[in-house]
Amino acid sequence: MRLGIIGLSQSGKTTVFEALTRSAATDGQHQESRIGTIIVPDKRVEVLSEMYNPRKTIFTQVAYFLPGKSDHGGGPKKEQSIWTQVRDCDALIHTIRNFSSYGVDAPTPKEDVITIDQELIISDLVVVEKRLERLALDEKRGKKPNPEEITLLKQCIAHLNNEIPLRRFPEIARTKLLRGFAFLSAKPMLILFNNADEDDSLPDSSSMPEGEECMVIRAKLEQEIAQMTDEEADEFLAEFNITASATDRVIQRSYDLMGLISFFTVGEDEVRAWTIGRNTDAVDAAEVIHSDIKKGFIRAEVLAYDDLMDAGTYAEARKKGTVRLEGKTYKVCDGDIINFRFNV
């Protein structure tokens, strides 16, 4: 799972990347693309690990990707390459400058959101139009196009021409027929307002885009915290009266944004979090662990994390009857602790 960081030049993309991935600060000098894999913080995994005291504890991971030379507005060719770079990302983090600094104009968050969205929309329009041309050409050569695909593509064009990003229409962009085009404006997007150090509020509602996922980060502050040792960071947070670093929240939120949830497996050997999409069937969740478990699937023994906390121990939960046996098509929930029964 991979999230691409996009945004206008000087909006704080590099700073956000370095804060989220705790990578060395480069003061924006780095020109190559960068990728940082980080663990998704999850308090529940920590609690389970304390409970089972396993040899190994494994969290889920996501990767953040910072395109190379990722400054927009550098001519069509430059932009194209950025959009090509993020095309295989599962979601986008859009950094918006919402701080003032010396020698830079006052921030214009609302306009900036639109500027980037327009680039995504134009890029998608090009893809859709090329595809329609291709299908028309095929038809001339006697190959019958799928009418359903043409209908869907035309719906895309209508929305894009109205400057509405396709992420508002998952029922169109996520269909099997269109998914493969990986439309940029259809990717889930988290808008990060990058505020000045002393400002932790969202911009007022008149500058907030409607119907979008928005969050505030003080990227520079977070980046400084990310460079510290844990003790230093704790001291720093206390001094500035901040309860927790925002990066964990951004990471958690971007995990949710991609439609991902976690289930857990527990034991003396290993406590582990696994990543699946929402509404995944138990038998498909089993496959994430091993294809043999899917093949030989009998039943899933499921205990919700909260029910385990209520009961105190697994044995106690069993007595209370909250440990359930579920079949292949059970929809796994976030926080389910699962013990798959299977034979090979």
Site for ligand GDP, rule CB under 6 A: 7, 9-15, 28, 71, 99, 101, 194-197, 218-220
Strand duo 260-265 + 270-277: pairing: antiparallel
Closest CA to 1 of 242, 269, 223, 260: 260
What's the closest the beta carbon of residue 207 comes to ligand GDP, in angstroms? 17
Q: Does 14 participate in binding Mg ion (rule CB under 5 A)?
A: yes
Comparing CB distances to Mg ion, the nearer of 195 and 223 is 223
Comparing CB distances to ligand GDP, the nearer of 15 and 280 is 15
Distance CA 178, CA 149 (A): 8
The answer to whether the beta carbons of residues 113 and 138 sit under 8 Å apart is no
Q: Which of residues 23-52 bind Mg ion (CB under 5 A)?
A: 28
| Residue 123 interface partner, choices ligand GDP, Mg ion, none, CB cut-off 5-8 Å depending on type | none
The answer to whether the beta carbons of residues 298 and 341 sit under 8 Å apart is yes
Closest CA to 226 of 11, 41, 22: 22
Name residues whose C-beta falls within 8 Å of residue 115's C-beta, 6 or more positions apart in sequence.
Answer: 8, 72
| Residue 218 interface partner, choices ligand GDP, Mg ion, none, CB cut-off 5-8 Å depending on type | ligand GDP
Distance CA 239, CA 84 (A): 43
What's the closest the beta carbon of residue 68 comes to ligand GDP, in angstroms? 11
> CB under 5 A: which stretch of 22-30, 56-64, 157-165, 273-281 binds Mg ion?
22-30
| Residue 21 interface partner, choices Mg ion, ligand GDP, none, CB cut-off 5-8 Å depending on type | none
What's the closest the beta carbon of residue 202 comes to ligand GDP, in angstroms? 14
- Residue located via tokens 């999409």: 277
Q: Is residue 145 helix, strand or coil?
A: coil
Could you list the beta-strand ranges (E) of 59-122.
61-66, 91-98
Taking CB atoms, the residue at the shortest distance from ligand GDP is 28
| Residue 15 interface partner, choices ligand GDP, Mg ion, none, CB cut-off 5-8 Å depending on type | ligand GDP
Q: How far apart are the first and last CA of the chain?
A: 30
Comparing CB distances to ligand GDP, the nearer of 69 and 290 is 69
Q: Is residue 97 helix, strand or coil?
A: strand
Q: Does 145 participate in binding Mg ion (rule CB under 5 A)?
A: no
Comparing CB distances to ligand GDP, the nearer of 107 and 335 is 107
Comparing CB distances to ligand GDP, the nearer of 102 and 329 is 102
> Interface residues with Mg ion (CB under 5 A)?
13-14, 28
